[in-house]
Amino acid sequence: MSYAQSLLSLAVLLCVDNGGAERPPAQCRQFDFWVGDWDVHVRMPTGPGQDRWQEGQATNKITSRFDGHVIEEHFDGSHLPQPLTGMSVSVYNPKLEKWEQTWVDDQGSYIDLVGEFKDGKMILTHKVKPLGRKVIFRMVFEDIARDSFLWKWERSDDLGKSWLLRLQARYTRSKAKT
What is the reported pTM? 0.83
- The CATH number of the domain covering residues in 3-173: 2.40.128.20
User: Could you give the CA distance from residue 6 to residue 41 in angstroms, rounded to a whole number?
Assistant: 31
Domain spans of the chain?
3-173
Model pLDDT for residues 86-130, shown as the tens digit of each residue: 999 999 998 999 999 999 999 999 999 999 999 999 999 999 987
For residue 10, the surrounding DSSP H or E stretch is helix 3-16
Model pLDDT for residues 52-74, shown as the tens digit of each residue: 889 999 999 999 998 888 999 99
From residue 91, alpha-carbon distances to 63, 100, 138, 175 in Å are: 12, 5, 17, 27
C-alpha dihedral sign at 168, 91, 59, 79: positive
Q: Are 140 and 160 in contact (CB under 8 A)?
A: no
